[in-house]
Amino acid sequence: MLILLLLLLVGVGAAKTGIIDGESNRRFSRFTVAIPQSALILSSAMNMELEVTAKQIMTVLGAGCVMYVLLVAYALAVPRIARLKRDGGLYSFMTLFGNVSFMGFPVIRALFGNGAIFYAALLSMPFNLLAYTLGIRFVSGERQEKFDWRKAINPPLVSALASVVMVFLPVSYPGPLKEAMGYLGDMVVPMSMIIIGASLGEQKIKDVFGDWHVYAFAPVRLLIAPALIWAVMRLIVHDPVLLGVMTVMEAMPVAAITTMLSLQYGANERLASRTVFVTTVLSVVTIPLVCWLLL
């Protein structure tokens, strides 16, 4: 986490000095999701050391569906329990969607190895489908903006589907191809942290840290969500690696796409950006705490 924090600070410095601006950061974000992250998923399938059966894949996908049903119920309950009169849908979105793409994959790879990325990719399928369907309904709130199902089809989802096929193909992939995918996949860690850091660097620190609502919400995303998933899923998931991946995924800070969707659909983008900022900083402490207590 300290390494990730240092990389994040590089992004903050790049934004503060004008090396990276908002537009270039958005382009870096799209590039990282489309190419390095997809390559990381494909590389995990090419270098899969353990034999994976169709039954195991269905087990992971089934566990992921159960996990997200539980998380949707939790996300719907949070604004009601807190009796929020404003921004309830936005809080539901921030409860449901963590920064799995930019922070989750690097942390999971560091903790459990390259093979665990395959699990994370499978578990991210419901995330990718929900974020641009139910997630948009949360963010748009009373406006109930229409969503386009085509937005749910994105490179990481396609790569995850392709990786499922690849693990069953009796193919020995060429060394140069595997190494090229590996190099591209290795870009995810530095690129993702620099992107987050550059996004944080565009904001006024004083305004961000002065909002008490963000601190009140942070444990909901960073501590209660992973504890809930661990407590429930351990009753039906007996693979310690799979349970660990699911728990770590839910320990991530608020997803970076929250701010972008808030801007697009007229939600409270200031609250979104502040919450992304604070939960990202706090996660440097809470992620190791969750791993120490639960794994």
User: What is d(CA 57, CA 118) in angstroms, rounded to the nearest whole number?
Assistant: 10
What pLDDT score was predicted for residue 14? 93
Domain that holds residue 234: 2-294
Residues in contact with 197: Cβ distance below 8 Å, sequence separation at least 6, in sequence order: 7, 8, 9, 10, 11, 12, 13, 14, 15
User: What is d(CA 145, CA 199) in angstroms, rounded to the nearest whole number?
Assistant: 26
Element (H, E) at 29: helix 22-34
What pLDDT score was predicted for residue 279? 92
CATH number at residue 212: 1.20.1530.20
What pLDDT score was predicted for residue 251? 96
Q: What residues of the chain score a pLDDT lower than 70?
A: 49-51, 142-152, 207-208, 264
What pLDDT score was predicted for residue 143? 54
Q: What is the DSSP letter of 149?
A: G
What pLDDT score was predicted for residue 7? 87
Element (H, E) at 199: helix 188-201
Residues in contact with 288: Cβ distance below 8 Å, sequence separation at least 6, in sequence order: 1
User: What is d(CA 164, CA 168) in angstroms, rounded to the nearest whole number?
Assistant: 7
The angle formed by the CA atoms of residues 53, 55 and 59, to the nearest 5 degrees, is: 120
What pLDDT score was predicted for residue 250? 95
Number of C-beta neighbours around residue 226 at 10 A: 26
What pLDDT score was predicted for residue 95? 96
Its pTM stands at 0.80
What pLDDT score was predicted for residue 145? 52
pLDDT digit string (tens) for 234-289?
999 999 999 999 999 999 999 877 877 787 677 887 788 788 888 988 998 999 99
What pLDDT score was predicted for residue 254? 93
Q: List for the chain the helix, strand, coil content (%; round to 5).
A: 80, 0, 20
User: What is d(CA 81, CA 220) in angstroms, rounded to the nearest whole number?
Assistant: 12
What pLDDT score was predicted for residue 50? 60
Query: Domain total for the chain?
Result: 1
| 3 state SS of 91 | helix
Measured in degrees and rounded to the nearest 5, phi and psi for residue 59 equal -65, -45
> If you count them, how many residues does the chain have?
295
User: What is d(CA 102, CA 82) in angstroms, rounded to the nearest whole number?
Assistant: 29
